[in-house]
Structure 1
Amino acid sequence: MHINPEVRTAAGVARGSWDNTVAVFRGIPYARSPFGPRRFAAPVPAPAWDGVRDALEFGPPVPQAGDVTPRSGDADTDCLTLNVWSPDPGAAGLPVLAWIHGGAYLEGTSGNPHSDGATLARAGAVVVNMNYRVGVEGFAHIAGAPDNRGILDQAAALRWIQENVAAFGGDPGNVTVFGQSAGAGCIAALLTMPLAAGLFRRAIAQSVPGTYFSPRLAASISNHIAAEVGARATVGELARIPPRALIEAAGATVRRMPGLVESWGPMALTPTPFSPVVDGDILPRAPWRALADGAAPEVDLLVGHTRDEYRLWTARPGGAPSDEQVAVALRQLSPGPDRGAYRTAYPDATPAQLYDIAHSDWLFRMPSLHLAGARQAGGGRAWVYELQWGFNAEQGASHCLDFLLVFGTLDPGEVRAHPAAHPDAAAEASRVSHDMRSDWLRFATTGDPGWAPYDPATRTARSYTAEPVVGPYPEERSRRLWRTHRFDTLDLLRTE
Structure 2
Amino acid sequence: MSQQADPIVETPAGAVRGVRDGSGEFYRAIPYAAAPAGAGRFAPPAPHPGWSGVRDGTAPSPTAPQPARDFGRLDMTPYFGPGWVRGEDYLTVDVRTPAAGGGRRPVMVFVHGGGFVTGSTRAALYDGSAFARDGVVLVTVNYRVGIPGFLDLAGAPPNRGLLDVLAALDWVRDTIAVFGGDPGNVTLFGQSAGATLIGALLATPEAKGLFRRAIVQSGSGTGAFTPEQARRVTAAAATALGVPPTAGAFAEIPDERFLEILPALAGMDLRIGPVTDPLVGLSPFSLVLPVQPADALTEGPGEEVGLLIGTNTEEGHLYLVPQGTLESSTDDDVLALATKVHADPAAVVAAHRAARPGASPGELRSAVLGEALFGAGTARLLAAHARLSAGRTHAYSFGHRSTALDGRLGATHTVELPFVFDIADEPWLHGDAGLLGPDPAPAGLAARVHSAWVAFATHGDPGWAAYDPQRPQVEVFGG
Q: The residue matched to 1:348 in structure 2 has which SS?
A: coil
Q: Is the 8 A contact 1:145 1:235 kept in 2?
A: yes
Q: The residue matched to 1:23 in structure 2 has which SS?
A: strand
CA deviations over 1:172-220 (Å, ceiling 9, x no partner)? 0000000000000000001111111111000000011342111111111
Is the alpha carbon distance of 1:27 and 1:419 closer, same or farther for their aligned partners in structure 2, counting shifts above 3 Å? closer
Identity, % of aligned positions: 37
Where in structure 2 are the equivalents of 1:229-244 lying within 5 Å? 229-244=241-256
Is the alpha carbon distance of 1:194 and 1:301 closer, same or farther for their aligned partners in structure 2, counting shifts above 3 Å? same
2:107 is matched with 96
1:193 aligned to which of 194, 199, 204: 204
Q: Which runs of 5+ in 2 are unaligned?
A: 69-80
More moved, 291-300 vs 454-463: 291-300
Where in structure 2 are the equivalents of 1:411-430 lying within 5 Å? 411-414=425-428, 417-418=431-432, 425-428=439-442, 430=443
Q: Is the 8 A contact 1:173 1:201 kept in 2?
A: yes
1:39 is matched with 41
Q: Is the 8 A contact 2:120 2:142 kept in 1?
A: yes
1:223 is matched with 235
2:466 is matched with 453
1:202 is matched with 213
Where in structure 2 are the equivalents of 1:24-423 lying within 5 Å? 24-66=26-68, 72=86, 77-209=88-220, 210-254=222-266, 256-257=267-268, 261=271, 265-267=276-278, 269-279=280-290, 285-291=291-297, 296-320=302-326, 321-334=329-342, 338-339=347-348, 340-380=350-390, 381-392=392-403, 393-414=407-428, 417-418=431-432
Q: The residue matched to 2:303 in structure 1 has which SS?
A: coil
Is the alpha carbon distance of 1:298 and 1:265 closer, same or farther for their aligned partners in structure 2, counting shifts above 3 Å? closer
Q: Is the 8 A contact 2:223 2:279 kept in 1?
A: no
Q: Is the 8 A contact 2:64 2:85 kept in 1?
A: no
Q: Distance in 1 between matches of 2:319 and 2:438?
A: 25
CA deviations over 1:412-440 (Å, ceiling 9, x no partner)? 43565338999994251x52111111000
Q: Is the 8 A contact 1:95 1:171 kept in 2?
A: yes
Q: TM-score, with normalisation over the residues of structure 2? A: 0.89
How much does 1:266 deviate? 3.5
Is the alpha carbon distance of 1:123 and 1:292 closer, same or farther for their aligned partners in structure 2, counting shifts above 3 Å? same
How much does 1:224 deviate? 0.8
Q: Distance in 2 between matches of 1:79 and 1:297?
A: 33
Q: Distance in 2 between matches of 1:156 and 1:164?
A: 12
Q: Distance in 1 between matches of 2:85 and 2:436?
A: 42
CA deviations over 1:50-93 (Å, ceiling 9, x no partner)? 12111111110010002988862xx6x11111110000111211
Q: Distance in 2 between matches of 1:414 and 1:25?
A: 24
Q: The residue matched to 1:458 in structure 2 has which SS?
A: coil
CA deviations over 1:83-122 (Å, ceiling 9, x no partner)? 1000011121100000000000010011111101112111
Q: The residue matched to 1:302 in structure 2 has which SS?
A: strand
Q: Distance in 2 between matches of 1:38 and 1:89?
A: 32
How much does 1:18 deviate? 1.5
Q: Is the 8 A contact 2:225 2:277 kept in 1?
A: no
Q: The residue matched to 1:265 in structure 2 has which SS?
A: coil
Q: Is the 8 A contact 1:59 1:79 kept in 2?
A: yes
Q: Is the 8 A contact 1:40 1:146 kept in 2?
A: yes
How much does 1:250 deviate? 2.3
How much does 1:155 deviate? 0.6
Is the alpha carbon distance of 1:444 and 1:335 closer, same or farther for their aligned partners in structure 2, counting shifts above 3 Å? farther
What code does the residue aligned with 2:336 have? Answer: V
What code does the residue aligned with 1:447 have? Answer: G
How much does 1:144 deviate? 0.8
Q: TM-score, with normalisation over the residues of structure 1? A: 0.86
Is the alpha carbon distance of 1:144 and 1:293 closer, same or farther for their aligned partners in structure 2, counting shifts above 3 Å? closer
Q: The residue matched to 2:277 in structure 1 has which SS?
A: helix
Q: Is the 8 A contact 1:96 1:172 kept in 2?
A: yes
Q: The residue matched to 2:200 in structure 1 has which SS?
A: helix
CA deviations over 1:430-468 (Å, ceiling 9, x no partner)? 5211111100000000111010111111110100017xx
How much does 1:249 deviate? 1.4
Q: Is the 8 A contact 1:202 1:299 kept in 2?
A: yes
Q: The residue matched to 2:324 in structure 1 has which SS?
A: coil
Q: The residue matched to 1:343 in structure 2 has which SS?
A: helix
More moved, 29-38 vs 292-301: 292-301
Q: Is the 8 A contact 1:294 1:378 kept in 2?
A: no
Is the alpha carbon distance of 1:69 and 1:114 closer, same or farther for their aligned partners in structure 2, counting shifts above 3 Å? closer
More moved, 168-177 vs 313-322: 313-322
Q: Distance in 1 between matches of 2:437 and 2:143?
A: 40
Q: Count residues with an aligned counterpart.
A: 455
What code does the residue aligned with 2:297 have? Answer: L
Q: CA RMSD in A?
A: 2.4
Q: Distance in 1 between matches of 2:140 and 2:195?
A: 14
Is the alpha carbon distance of 1:409 and 1:374 closer, same or farther for their aligned partners in structure 2, counting shifts above 3 Å? same
How much does 1:335 deviate? 6.9
Q: Distance in 2 between matches of 1:289 and 1:270?
A: 23
Is the alpha carbon distance of 1:336 and 1:324 closer, same or farther for their aligned partners in structure 2, counting shifts above 3 Å? closer
Q: Distance in 1 between matches of 2:165 and 2:389?
A: 26
Is the alpha carbon distance of 1:96 and 1:240 closer, same or farther for their aligned partners in structure 2, counting shifts above 3 Å? same
What code does the residue aligned with 2:333 have? Answer: Q
